[in-house]
Amino acid sequence: MSQQELNVESRQTGGKVAARQLRRAGKLPAVLYGHGETPVHLSVGAKEFSDLLSHHGSHSLLVLKGASTETAIIKTIARHPVKGIPATIDFQRVSRNERISAKVPILVVNEPLDVKSGDGLLVQSLHEIEISALPAEMPEHITVDISHLVLNGPAVHINEIEVPAGITVLTSGEEAIAAVNPPKKVDLDAPMDEVDAAIEAEGQAKAEEAAASNNENATVAEEVTAQAAQNVDAEHGASSKSGGEGLKKETHTGNKSE
């Protein structure tokens, strides 16, 4: 496990209001606990913490530098439900001489031949493994060789992998990690099932109903237009018989009559 430094500051208050104020200031609320000591409220620069995760992941051994220096690991990170960015952090104190347990990523290597040829599809069902080790010996990931996997063959399990000296695996040995399965084939010419047929029929019915409604609206619009034209013609005829005074008033509004 690599060792990284992280600057922290002590804070006196907790709670949602104080946490929101910290985030507005570009900082993250954090708590440091462990070894039977009183938990300490901390704040961490949001950008500095984001850079740490981007370059070193969340499994580094940390030296927290503030009013005092503490050795710790990241125990949990609570993230914003929508944005996915860190919202709060829990640090756990550790001693370099005491074993700790943590979940680390599983890295599968050496793609099987059946996957390379396209005959098979690699399915990884387990992505993390829980292990125990001294902080300095905690790896950033566990590497699993999957080159021996074959199509429709047995999966590779936890109890089959090799781990570095000093590492104790805590995850059940019966857990499957990965296997090679046949790819799913989609028959584009296959007949639709009853559900698809019902959906298509319903869509067709709605389309026909909409078309009928449009035709009816068009007919009504034509009738209204024809009636309006008749009314205009009748009014024009009446205006002509009365000397056209109404038409002149409409046309020359605001002008003096001669």
Domain assignment present for residue 165? The answer is yes
Edge-to-edge order in the sheet of strand 100-109: 142-145, 100-109, 128-133, 168-169
Q: Is residue 220 part of a domain?
A: yes
> Which of these, 78, 127, 74, lies nearest to 105 by C-alpha position?
127
Say how many Å lie between the first and final Cα of the chain, rounded: 104
152: left (phi over 0), alpha (psi -120 to 50) or beta: left
**Taking every pair of C-alpha atoms in the chain, what is the biggest distance, in angstroms?**
115
Tell me: pLDDT of 52 over 90. yes
Same domain, 7 and 86: yes
Q: Are residues 90 and 45 in the same domain?
A: yes
| Number of structural domains the chain divides into | 3
Please check whether residues 63 and 128 belong to one and the same domain.
no
Comparing 27 with 234, which gets the higher pLDDT? 27
What's the domain range around 236?
194-250
Percent of the chain with pLDDT over 90: 54
pLDDT tier for residue 255 given thresholds of 50, 70 and 90? very low
| Domain boundary residue, one of 75, 94, 113 | 94
189 in a structural domain: no
pLDDT (tens digit, 9 = 90+) per residue, 13-40? Answer: 778 888 889 999 999 999 999 988 889 9
Q: Is 171 exposed, middle or buried (0-12, 13-18, 19+ CB in 10 A)?
A: middle
CATH code of 75's domain:
2.40.240.10
Q: Which pairing describes strands 156-157 and 176-181: parallel, antiparallel, or unpaired?
A: antiparallel
Asked if 34 and 114 sit in the same domain, the reply is no
Q: What does the pLDDT read at residue 191?
A: 60
